């Protein structure tokens, strides 16, 4: 099993466990059982699901889980078992148990299960049975006469297989018509010639003395199914499966009888299958390698080359855990370009982009070798330094601030840059990674209030300053690792929706600074990332549909949206987060189809901001059935509904902060290519293991997903594979050819995307 498939199973298990916790909390056993059985029915690799309390009571038993689980306890071969704990009110309740099918990755296992191999074995057994009966009759004939009677010759000529009767020196005494016609040599020329002297060819690992009839003559042994190659007059090569047995009685050795079954077509077909399987595995390896390269591109900010927020927080979580376990310091530095808005207004956004590139170059040169550098949002950067204490981090921060002051531009030559910097470290007892960033952020704003272009170290007193978050305020404990796991699950189902959520989170981060403290901004960002998480449960037919949804489908989406709110409420137990996601659908004037929701300023400000940012990104983003509109049109549309659907004050604030349509982010294409590559890998594995049901399911999903991404060539190739896999008599060679064609298309698509992204990267430095 590949690491990607194992990680996918773990993420699926965790997502199901989160959903199960919600049902357990409300004692909804019937719904939970139905959900589990649906998952088992739809996923060919998922054998069973069980929900068991810590007292050992099996509350849900889907797919005969109880029997399977007891079997795993004694013999786990063929089954991949996973358990995920369930906690309620921060106490252990029990666990969700999963049994996945452990795939057979053996090359010989796949070949042995092939129908052609089974057919070959059947013919071998049948041939040996008939051959044994025939040898008995021939031996009785030879025991009474040294001459081959005409009636025996005629009987031998009726055989479909070639046959030679040899004496003790391997001279041909008799050759039947089938053998003579196959090798295209008259029977008269064959008789009295030595069988060893025929134009046999040998593989590199075969000896020229390994003739089966010689073993039969010399050792009185029976040899079966030995493969020999023979060159015929027209230059072609025939491949025979040879059986040989000794002929004689008493102490006299009279020779051997050999039968030759022409398996040229079968052997060529087998070699083609083996070659196709080899190509299949090589292509899968190449796609996996390109997936890794695309994952790197998907974790990088296209403009600056720094880590994006998602990748930064994923790695931050690991460094935070390591620092706590090893009791080593972990420092955080926040940088903000001073007067960046003035640069954009004075010189244009092109110069503003150049400023960000140069600042990121300085940060990566100073800290990239021993830390993480992230474009945190807009003109802000965050640097994480593992193993660096507070005093050393302050020195690094001051050196970097001075380096930013030294940046110059050919045009405009008069432009000079400064940065405000805040520094914190784990010695100040931050409870989680986000609080460590918040501490550095507090220092950053203190630096701005203090005149900018300076470094401010963290002290607890700074948190009590006006405009900042008091220490006594209870912070929302939302583990970012859990958030990224849910986003990864959504990205697997629909990369476009996951990327939309990330863009909305970036917009919310930019718009909310003037209205919300750092803790509320963090909650709003998480709400934006998870506001569409309910779509994880939507069927592929709706989720990947290439057109507008029908009213019934819209109602189903709304139902899953409510499920998403319940999942967030149960998983994080944060009222502010739940209300932000739930009330984003509330209209400012109380209109809209959702009733019993707050109105006006009673709607949480985070929900009002999320509603505006979500609507804006939906309008400017391309869909498979329409192109996105311009920034100006989207702003006009927001203003048209200001006062009815949206908060008019926040609409104007949004328009002042977001002054242009965000640049297209290649990450969506990267993630789409990664998902397509991953699904192609799974499809190739299903074909390798001859899992016909899995082939049909995976090919159908791949086709829908490729059409969603407007990659018709891959969609058509997937459709051909699905059609061949559904045939009653599967042509495996044609299926392998189609699969290799699909892998080549996927590899080409990935290569073009990687090349395109590299071409569009602006050199930094």
In this predicted structure, the answer to whether residue 276 has a pLDDT above a threshold of 80 is no
pLDDT at 480: 66
Q: What tokens were used for 195?
A: 């069988």
In this predicted structure, the answer to whether residue 475 has a pLDDT above a threshold of 50 is no
| Helix, strand, or coil (residue 539) | coil
Q: Which helix (H) or strand (E) holds 384?
A: strand 380-386
426 secondary structure, DSSP code: G
Which residue reads 């006299």 in tokens?
252
Per-range mean pLDDT, top range of 8-12, 457-461, 622-626: 457-461
Q: What tokens were used for 337?
A: 């370009």
Q: What is the pLDDT of residues 651-685, one digit of tens each?
A: 999 999 888 877 655 444 556 666 666 666 677 77
CA–CA separation, 297 and 701 (whole Å): 25
Q: What tokens were used for 81?
A: 């078992």
Mean pLDDT of 170-193: 83
In this predicted structure, the answer to whether residue 35 has a pLDDT above a threshold of 80 is yes
Query: Quick check: 383 and 363 in contact, CB under 8 A?
Result: yes
Closest CA to 381 of 404, 411, 408: 404
Strand partners, 570: none
The mean predicted confidence, pLDDT, of the chain is 80
| pLDDT confidence band for 503 (50 / 70 / 90) | confident
pLDDT at 506: 84
Helices (H), 113-211: 115-142, 150-157, 177-183, 187-190
Q: What is the pLDDT of residues 681-702, one digit of tens each?
A: 677 777 767 777 877 877 877 7
In this predicted structure, the answer to whether residue 190 has a pLDDT above a threshold of 50 is yes
Mean pLDDT of 70-89: 84
CA–CA separation, 444 and 425 (whole Å): 14
pLDDT at 388: 94
Residue 133 — left, alpha, or beta (φ > 0 → left; ψ -120 to 50 → alpha)? alpha
Question: What percent of the chain has a predicted confidence (pLDDT) above 90?
Answer: 21
Mean pLDDT of 12-31: 87
Q: What is the pLDDT of residues 708-719, one digit of tens each?
A: 677 778 888 888
Q: Which helix (H) or strand (E) holds 222?
A: none
Higher confidence at residue 203 or residue 582? 582
pLDDT at 419: 94
CA dihedral 432, 437, 441, 443 (to 10 degrees): 80
CA–CA separation, 231 and 263 (whole Å): 14
**Bond preceding residue 676 cis, omega within 30 of 0:** no
Mean pLDDT of 305-331: 88
Question: CA 490, 494, 500 angle in degrees (round to 5)?
Answer: 80
| Helix, strand, or coil (residue 422) | strand
CA–CA separation, 573 and 462 (whole Å): 29
pLDDT at 666: 47
Rg (CA), the chain: 36
Q: What is the pLDDT of residues 622-642, one digit of tens each?
A: 765 677 899 999 999 999 999
Strand partners, 231: 237
In this predicted structure, the answer to whether residue 499 has a pLDDT above a threshold of 60 is yes
Query: Quick check: 668 and 495 in contact, CB under 8 A?
Result: yes
Question: Cα–Cα distances in Å, from 698 out to 83, 451, 487?
Answer: 25, 59, 22
CA–CA separation, 227 and 263 (whole Å): 9
| pLDDT confidence band for 338 (50 / 70 / 90) | very high
Q: What is the pLDDT of residues 395-437, one digit of tens each?
A: 999 999 999 999 999 888 899 999 999 999 999 988 888 889 9
In this predicted structure, the answer to whether residue 443 has a pLDDT above a threshold of 90 is yes
In this predicted structure, the answer to whether residue 20 has a pLDDT above a threshold of 70 is yes
CA–CA separation, 288 and 308 (whole Å): 22
pLDDT at 587: 92
- Could you write out the three-class secondary structure of 41-63? HHCCCEEEEEEEECCCCEEEEEC
Question: Cα–Cα distances in Å, from 176 out to 243, 257, 710?
Answer: 15, 12, 62
Q: Is the pTM higher than 0.85?
A: no
Higher confidence at residue 254 or residue 467? 254
| Helix, strand, or coil (residue 450) | coil
| pLDDT confidence band for 765 (50 / 70 / 90) | very low
Q: What tokens were used for 367?
A: 């800290």
Residue 264: burial class (beta carbons within 10 Å; 0-12, 13-18, 19+): middle
Q: Please name each of the domains of the chain with its CATH number.
A: 3-103 (3.30.450), 110-262 (3.30.450.20), 273-302+666-765 (no CATH), 309-464 (3.30.70.270), 480-664 (1.10.3210.10)
- Could you write out the three-class secondary structure of 88-134? ECCEEEEEEEEEEECCCCCHHHHHHCCHHHHHHHHHHHHHHHHHHHH
| pLDDT confidence band for 22 (50 / 70 / 90) | confident
Between 385-389, 412-416, 539-543, the lowest mean confidence (pLDDT) is in 539-543
| pLDDT confidence band for 389 (50 / 70 / 90) | very high
CA–CA separation, 453 and 670 (whole Å): 37
Mean pLDDT of 514-542: 80
Q: Which helix (H) or strand (E) holds 524?
A: helix 518-530
pLDDT at 401: 94
Residue 522: what are its φ and ψ, rounded to 5°?
A: -65, -45
Question: What percent of the chain has a predicted confidence (pLDDT) above 70?
Answer: 79
Higher confidence at residue 398 or residue 11? 398
Q: What is the pLDDT of residues 115-158, one digit of tens each?
A: 666 677 777 777 777 777 776 655 544 443 345 566 666 777 77
Q: What is the pLDDT of residues 236-270, one digit of tens each?
A: 788 888 999 888 755 555 788 899 988 887 777 77
For residue 599, how far is the Cα from the chain centroid?
Answer: 42
In this predicted structure, the answer to whether residue 757 has a pLDDT above a threshold of 60 is no
| pLDDT confidence band for 468 (50 / 70 / 90) | very low
| pLDDT confidence band for 456 (50 / 70 / 90) | very high
């Amino acid at each position: 099993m590949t690491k990607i498939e194992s990680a996918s199973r773990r993420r699926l298990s965790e997502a199901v466990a989160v959903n199960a916790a919600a049902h357990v909390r409300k004692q909804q056993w019937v719904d939970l059982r139905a959900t589990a059985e649906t998952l088992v029915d739809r996923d060919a690799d998922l054998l069973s699901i069980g929900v068991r309390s810590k007292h050992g009571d099996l509350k849900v038993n889907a797919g005969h889980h109880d029997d399977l689980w007891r079997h795993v306890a004694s013999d786990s071969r063929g089954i991949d078992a996973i358990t995920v704990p369930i906690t309620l009110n921060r106490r252990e309740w029990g666990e969700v148990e999963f049994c996945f099918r452990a795939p057979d990755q053996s090359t010989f296992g796949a070949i042995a299960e092939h129908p052609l191999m089974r057919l070959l074995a059947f013919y071998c057994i049948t041939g040996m049975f008939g051959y044994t009966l025939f040898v008995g009759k021939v031996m009785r004939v030879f025991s009474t006469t040294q001459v081959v009677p005409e009636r025996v010759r005629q009987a031998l000529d009726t055989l479909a297989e070639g046959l030679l009767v040899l004496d003790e020196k391997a001279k041909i005494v008799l050759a039947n018509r089938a053998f003579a016609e196959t090798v295209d040599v008259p029977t008269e020329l064959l008789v009295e010639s030595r069988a060893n002297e025929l134009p046999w060819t040998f593989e590199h690992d075969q000896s020229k003395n390994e003739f089966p009839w010689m073993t039969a003559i010399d050792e009185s042994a029976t040899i079966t199914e030995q493969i020999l190659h023979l060159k015929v007059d027209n230059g072609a090569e025939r491949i025979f499966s040879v059986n040989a047995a000794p002929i004689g009685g008493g102490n006299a050795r009279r020779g051997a009888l050999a039968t030759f079954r022409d398996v040229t077509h079968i052997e060529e077909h087998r070699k083609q299958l083996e070659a196709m399987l080899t190509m299949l595995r090589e292509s899968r390896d190449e796609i996996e390698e390109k997936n890794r390269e695309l994952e790197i591109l998907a974790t990088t900010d296209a403009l600056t080359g720094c880590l994006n927020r998602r990748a930064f927080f994923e790695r931050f979580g690991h460094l935070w855990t390591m620092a706590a376990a090893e009791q080593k310091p972990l420092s955080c530095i926040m940088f903000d370009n001073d007067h960046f808005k003035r640069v954009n207004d004075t010189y244009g956004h092109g110069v503003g982009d150049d400023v960000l590139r140069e600042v990121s170059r300085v940060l990566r040169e100073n800290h990239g070798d021993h830390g993480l550098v992230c474009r945190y949002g807009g003109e802000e950067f965050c640097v994480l330094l593992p193993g660096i204490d507070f005093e050393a981090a302050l020195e690094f921060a001051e050196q970097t601030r001075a380096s930013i002051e030294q940046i110059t531009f050919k045009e405009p030559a008069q432009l000079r840059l400064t940065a405000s910097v805040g520094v914190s470290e784990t010695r100040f007892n931050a409870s989680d990674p986000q609080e460590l960033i918040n501490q550095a952020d507090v220092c950053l704003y203190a630096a701005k209030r203090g005149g900018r272009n300076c470094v401010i170290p963290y002290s607890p007193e700074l948190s009590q300053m006006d405009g900042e978050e008091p220490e006594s305020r209870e912070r929302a404990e939302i583990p970012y690792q859990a958030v990224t796991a849910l986003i990864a699950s959504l990205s697997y189902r629909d990369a476009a929706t996951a990327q939309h959520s990330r863009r909305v989170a970036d917009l919310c981060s930019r718009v909310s600074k003037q209205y919300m403290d750092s803790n509320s901004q963090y909650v709003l960002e998480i709400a934006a990332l998870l506001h569409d998480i309910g779509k994880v449960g939507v069927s592929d037919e709706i989720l990947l549909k290439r057109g507008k949804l029908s009213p019934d489908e819209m109602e189903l989406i709304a139902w899953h949206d409510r499920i998403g709110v319940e999942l967030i409420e149960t998983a994080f137990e944060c009222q502010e987060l739940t209300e932000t996601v739930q009330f984003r659908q509330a209209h400012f004037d109380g209109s809209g189809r959702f009733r019993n929701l707050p109105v006006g300023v009673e709607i949480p400000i985070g929900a009002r901001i999320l509603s505006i940012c979500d609507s804006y990104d939906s309008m400017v983003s391309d869909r498979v059935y329409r192109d996105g509109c311009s920034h100006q049109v989207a702003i006009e549309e927001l203003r048209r509904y200001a006062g009815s659907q949206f908060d008019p004050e926040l609409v104007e604030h949004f328009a002042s902060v977001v002054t242009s349509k965000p640049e297209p982010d290649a990450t969506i294409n990267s993630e789409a290519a990664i998902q397509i590559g991953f699904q192609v890998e799974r499809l190739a594995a299903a074909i390798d293991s001859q899992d016909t049901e899995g082939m049909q399911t995976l090919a159908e999903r791949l086709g829908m997903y490729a059409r969603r991404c407007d990659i018709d060539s891959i969609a058509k190739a997937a459709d051909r594979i699905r059609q061949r896999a559904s045939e009653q008599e599967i042509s495996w060679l044609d299926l392998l050819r189609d699969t290799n064609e699909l892998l080549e298309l996927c590899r080409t698509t990935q290569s073009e995307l990687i090349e395109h992204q590299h071409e569009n990267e602006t050199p930094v430095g």
